[in-house]
């Protein structure tokens, strides 16, 4: 499979839970372990050698997030869109549409995982013979609404969804060049529905275990994420 040269970042959510809890800054700018959430995601791209970036922010977080990106990651070649989307699928497909007919590695700003795990997924995908969708997965299940993954003995994903399983997705998606064509002209209520549609309509899919991952969805997840980061740094 062709190695991706571009990264994509989804940061268009409203962060309503954090607002209700009294956080004044946009969710991507909330500090976890001394660094904004968006900083953890961008640092992973840099470690993986991905400096071309397509990103979607919403109208509220666009200015502070864009300023942070320009200040802390001036080496990135960025393609920024400020847009209020209705669903996670709409945000994802917007970024995917800017891949220029090439594979793209897309993440959210929610997940924190060990340094180098993203590069490991890219190396794994680059050694595959077939073009396919490669999803980052983890057996560390702490998500409020986890997307469970079922795989065969060879790591091929055979279904997405369900109420239980050994692995869940962790917010990392390496998409092949033809992924957008499969879902062209359709809308989906959530990203998980789009991914399931791609799988059900013939797009090959593999899972790559990225180890423990913390999904910062709620204010109470911050302390757990900081404990996780402390272990990584210790």
Whether 61 and 109 have beta carbons less than 8 Å apart is answered as no
Domain boundaries, the chain: 6-233
Residue 121: CA atoms inside 13 Å, Cβ hemisphere, count?
35
- The span from the CA of 96 to the CA of 145, in Å, is 23
Residues 6+ apart with CB under 8 A from 45: 7, 9, 51, 53, 76, 105, 107, 118
- What are 210-219's pLDDT values in tens digits? 999 999 999 9
- The span from the CA of 147 to the CA of 191, in Å, is 10
What pTM was estimated for this model as a whole? Answer: 0.96
Query: What percentage of residues in the chain have a pLDDT greater than 90?
Result: 87
Please state, as a whole number, how many other Cβ atoms lie within 10 Å of the Cβ of residue 119: 15
Name beta bridge partners: 214: 112
- Taking residues 163-170, report their average pLDDT: 92
- Homologous superfamily, domain 6-233: Spore Coat Polysaccharide Biosynthesis Protein SpsA; Chain A (3.90.550.10)
Average pLDDT of the residues of the chain: 94
Q: Tokens 């962790």 identify what position?
A: 170
pLDDT band at residue 155 under the 50/70/90 scheme:
confident
- Is the confidence at residue 144, as pLDDT, over 80? no
pLDDT band at residue 234 under the 50/70/90 scheme:
low
User: What pLDDT does residue 185 have?
Assistant: 82
């Amino acid at each position: 499979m062709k190695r991706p040269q571009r990264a994509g970042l989804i940061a268009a959510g409203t962060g309503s839970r954090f607002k209700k809890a009294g956080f004044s800054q946009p969710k991507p700018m909330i500090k976890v372990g001394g660094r904004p959430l968006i900083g953890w995601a961008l640092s992973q791209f840099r470690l993986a050698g991905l400096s071309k970036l397509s990103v979607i922010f919403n109208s509220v977080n666009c200015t502070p997030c864009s300023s942070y990106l320009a200040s802390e990651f001036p080496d990135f070649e960025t393609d920024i869109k400020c847009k209020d989307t209705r669903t996670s699928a709409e945000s994802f497909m917007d970024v995917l549409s800017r891949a220029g007919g090439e594979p793209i590695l897309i993440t959210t700003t929610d997940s924190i995982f060990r340094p180098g795990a993203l590069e490991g997924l890219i190396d794994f995908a680059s050694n595959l013979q077939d073009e396919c969708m490669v999803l980052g997965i983890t057996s560390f299940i702490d998500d409020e609404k986890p997307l469970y993954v079922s795989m065969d003995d060879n790591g091929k994903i055979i279904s997405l969804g369900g109420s239980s399983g050994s692995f869940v997705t962790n917010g990392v998606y390496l998409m092949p060049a033809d992924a957008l064509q499969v879902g062209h002209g359709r809308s989906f209520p959530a990203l998980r529905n789009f991914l399931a549609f791609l799988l059900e309509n013939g797009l090959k899919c593999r899972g790559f275990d990225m180890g423990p991952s913390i999904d910062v969805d709620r204010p109470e997840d911050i302390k757990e994420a900081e404990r996780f980061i402390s272990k990584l740094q210790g």
